[in-house]
Structure 1
């Protein structure tokens, strides 16, 4: 079929706000030019993240009514446990309220001061949780164009042979910081082999495991015709366990998990979970959340749904490219990434082109996107010197699951075209207030030009 369409019908809607340009510019000023700080009722199309922003299915809403809110041993947990174990093969299943809780608990059991966590790329909260322990997060992204999420095996071998105190290796599937690109089965097996040789445990950050599995089916001839669920099981079987935000491929609004083979490690994780998250069979979640997550994990590996995700991202990337934005290719499933530095060559990386572009796009059309450039991934000089810029200055257009139609995204592309047409006039940004960690969430900025970004 030449035209793809959503493999679902829409049964519930909510209105979206349309502000005037003057109102949007005032929102930018009031928020300190940080789109995280703008209230949702002042956003027209919200592509900030695909985390917790998806639309649940009729079956998931139905599952909410079956939620068992018993404090311990609820049947909702037992259903969630069965679904996760069937999918992953891991017998030790620990629910948590979201992915960063899973990271904090798991890393605190694996790492200590001066230890090293290695990843294809640690995302923002993953890195923060490693560094909060006093450990060091080392990113070793690969170079494969088809599997741009891979980890650099040669670099990992060198690091291990040099005697680095590596406490764990984490493969993020898909690799969010590298354009949402997948990790290949071959790369995961090569990393596993090195980990076994040096006695290092291997874990998956499995937030987007189903999308990674689908992209393997698309791009690896050896897996053509294999179901995404079977590919996902093969990926999980390579690792010792996983942590995951289930606000992505759980297609729910809250929730996460740790799933493991090792009973002793699982016991340590449960001890830490009880201190801050709740009892080990609810982990900070309501029973109804666990039921919705269990249903979402069954639905997310549906081939038609995943094909729709991938085709939507490709089509939207084409529309943004037609609008004049330099789009990263190939696209993944959960987002389209734009190279803000290429679009705004008049700005230095220290002038935060991704943030500048995000603010201009919001001023133009009320569209909220996410800066994955130097504001997010740059390294702050503790001596007060200039920031070390991020490897790439990306702006992410995340695609919430089952939320926006083609018309919504065409509106975004039209706003992007208007911004691209005046790209050379967009001013850079400077930070006027920032926290010590995860500064992109709460920092305040201002334009380097008194004219602002409008």
Structure 2
């Protein structure tokens, strides 16, 4: 590996948090008590926590200083004004409504923009997004390019919508039966794969020709912008801010979890350009979240989010962020470990189908692999396969995604390259005796979003 490609951390560490290292026997006890579900393992028993990059980020000194300026007024907080000004400037949107996190924005958008029976095409589902869409009567349709479902294919913009698929859906169902297009930038479950600017432009032109709105899932928009700068011709000399501004010019708004590219621990917002939808959203946010000027967020958290959004678009930071993830991926690839390629912006995804070929999908290979990685090393990861996909709301049958993966998600500004080496060594060691990984079965299965709280046992 050419280590010179990977930059050192563009920050100094001013505070540390000790982590525990528990032995194998203790990890076995903890995993059993958690029902072999990594979501239910207490964090005190985790050595390196790669469960998620959502809200697990380290905030900067400027963000912590901003927390001290929290205006906790129930209405009209000056921190909301700062957040509103920042989002309008950076993204170029007209209106924002704060929410407690991204799924709060998903809930409101789905409630005001979907009529029962309408279709909601998107570039691969995400768990909470699809739940809110279906809960409000929508029918999710995956229109991502076919290559996104193949872990081994390495192409630059694997998150692109297949324009022919989208056009066919519009022709067959009628534009009036399309609620909106949900375009994720980047695509989480495809492996953190980016969407090209060309594709955003084409989706926008097609949809607006038919009077269909386009809403981004903008959770990792800065990572997507970096990939455009790195990979798309004509953008190599553009700033991240310029790229982001053009990206959002092709949307009618966005849902945003500030817990990712906002580099904060809580918060999000709904961005809208349509005046009527904005007024509807303002009414609904009071029901579910809070006043339109705080929407479930404390003033101090809005201040930290406003600062964090700017920091996420600093080139040295976002370059380091993406390349640290890539470093882990390259270490695993060199050892022959099967992963989703190319490596995305926020995580390395282990391909559990190829990692555990002795397990059928009904034996939950990704869940089993995530469990075994914790037992092996104390590294916590997340299943992203048949368990996360859930069941068809009509038939009750398991959705069977083509991708069956374990997500090694890297929190922002938390771990160093040495931590990535420890993770890589653990995964490689596990891969060398992968035949010992045992399949799992449900012993408790919740009806909704089962991956959060389900419990398992060995088959």
Shared fold per TM-score greater than 0.5 = yes
Q: Does 1:160 align with 2:163?
A: no
Relative distance call for 1:381 and 1:200 in structure 2 (3 A) is: closer
- Report the equivalent of 1:58: 61
**Aligned-pair distance for 1:379?**
3.2
- Report the equivalent of 1:14: 17
In structure 1, the residue corresponding to 2:198 is in which secondary structure? helix
**Aligned-pair distance for 1:368?**
0.7
- Report the equivalent of 1:452: none
**Aligned-pair distance for 1:362?**
0.3
- Report the equivalent of 2:435: 424
- Report the equivalent of 2:152: none
CA distance in 2, matches of 1:274, 1:409: 43
Q: 2:246 aligns with which of 231, 234, 244?
A: 234
- Report the equivalent of 1:283: 295
Q: Does 1:444 align with 2:447?
A: no
- Report the equivalent of 1:293: 305
Farther-moved stretch of structure 1 (359-368 vs 163-172): 163-172
Q: Does structure 2 retain, via aligned residues, the 8 Å contact 1:323–1:416? A: no
Relative distance call for 1:68 and 1:406 in structure 2 (3 A) is: same
- Report the equivalent of 2:337: 325
CA distance in 2, matches of 1:287, 1:3: 37
In structure 1, the residue corresponding to 2:137 is in which secondary structure? coil
In structure 1, the residue corresponding to 2:173 is in which secondary structure? coil
User: Alignment length, in residue pairs?
Assistant: 447
CA distance in 1, matches of 2:232, 2:437: 41
- Report the equivalent of 2:151: none
Unaligned runs of at least 5 residues, structure 1: 449-454
**Aligned-pair distance for 1:28?**
1.1
CA distance in 2, matches of 1:190, 1:432: 46
Q: Does structure 1 retain, via aligned residues, the 8 Å contact 2:346–2:409? A: yes
**Aligned-pair distance for 1:2?**
4.8
- Report the equivalent of 2:150: none
Unaligned runs of at least 5 residues, structure 2: 148-154
**Aligned-pair distance for 1:447?**
1.2
Q: Does structure 1 retain, via aligned residues, the 8 Å contact 2:105–2:269? A: yes
CA distance in 2, matches of 1:207, 1:183: 13
Q: Which runs of 4+ in 1 moved over 3 A?
A: 378-385
Q: Does 1:402 align with 2:413?
A: yes
- Report the equivalent of 1:179: 191
In structure 2, the residue corresponding to 1:257 is in which secondary structure? strand
Matches within 5 A, 1:252-401: 252-380=264-392, 387-401=398-412
CA distance in 1, matches of 2:255, 2:164: 25
CA distance in 1, matches of 2:329, 2:421: 11
- Report the equivalent of 2:426: 415
In structure 2, the residue corresponding to 1:221 is in which secondary structure? coil
CA distance in 1, matches of 2:408, 2:59: 21
Farther-moved stretch of structure 1 (33-42 vs 132-141): 132-141
Q: Does 1:49 align with 2:52?
A: yes
Q: C-alpha offsets along residues 146-182 of structure 1, whole Å, 9 cap, x if unaligned?
A: 1011111100000000125110101000000111010
Q: C-alpha offsets along residues 100-138 of structure 1, whole Å, 9 cap, x if unaligned?
A: 000000110001221111110221100011111121111
In structure 2, the residue corresponding to 1:79 is in which secondary structure? helix
Q: 2:103 aligns with which of 84, 89, 100?
A: 100
Q: Does 1:91 align with 2:94?
A: yes
Q: Does 1:150 align with 2:153?
A: no
